[in-house]
Amino acid sequence: MSRNSPGWVMPASLLAALLLGLLPLPVPLQPYRPYWLALVMVYWLIEAPDRFGLGFAFLSGVLADLCFGTVLGEQALRLTVMAFIVQRFRAQLRFFPLSQQALAIAGLLLNDRVVVAVVHLALDEPQPPLAAWWSPLVGMVLWGPVFLLLDRLRLGGRK
């Protein structure tokens, strides 16, 4: 199935996720910004596991680090950890209904916040604001739309 997906969808989704991550938001809303890149990456890991793996997660993480000005390697680490978990549970995740998938995504994103906290603690950097712990919930709500949109784009190109 993935062999037939048009080649531009993956780079375009990655670019869109990076742009959405950089888009200026009003200051009080900033901590709630969902981790778009993670949503997009999880989609590709679930749907096209033969093409996208840990290396893909790592490289997109490095790219994100460059874009967001975070310590080089931080997001690479976060995304690699997330990709590994997704790969382990891919068989189950793939056949979950969308609602259950969204719950699993919330769990993944929450785990990601823990990784962030640990990395910042280890580097002696300031912790993100407490409100950032809500962003997994935003991610959970957005998983459905993101999944359906990417599915439409990926399969729509197959004639």
Partner 1 sequence: MPSYTSPHASRPGDVAGTLKLLAWLVLAIALIVLDHRGGWLAQLRHRAVAVVQPLWWLAGMPARIGDTLSESAATRNHLASENRVLRNALLVSGARVARLQAASAENAHLRELLGAARRNGGLDVQLAPVLDVDLDPTRQRLLLDAGTRDGVSLGQAVIDAGGLVGQIISVQAGTATVLLLTDPDHAVPVMVARSGVRLLAYGSGRSDRLALANVPLSADVRVGDVVLTSGLGGRFPAGFPVGTIVALHPDDSHAFLVGDVRPAARLDRGRDVLLLREQATR
Sign of CA dihedral 152, 7, 98, 36: negative
Residues 39-78 that bind partner 1 (CB under 8 A): 53-55, 57-58, 61-63, 66-74, 76-77
117 belongs to the binding site for partner 1 (CB under 8 A): no
151 belongs to the binding site for partner 1 (CB under 8 A): no
118 belongs to the binding site for partner 1 (CB under 8 A): no
Buried residues in 19-47 as b, exposed as e (16+ CB within 10 A):
ebbeeeeeeeeebbebbbbbbbbbbbbbb
Residue type at 88?
Answer: R
Compare residues 125 and 157 and give the one whose CB is closer to partner 1: 125
Candidate list 1, 11, 27, 28; residue touching partner 1; CB under 8 A: 27
Compare residues 70 and 101 and give the one whose CB is closer to partner 1: 70
All residues at 6 or more sequence positions from 106 whose CB lies less than 8 Å from its CB, including other chains: 136, 137, 139, 140
Beta carbon of residue 6, minimum distance to partner 1 (angstroms, whole number) = 22
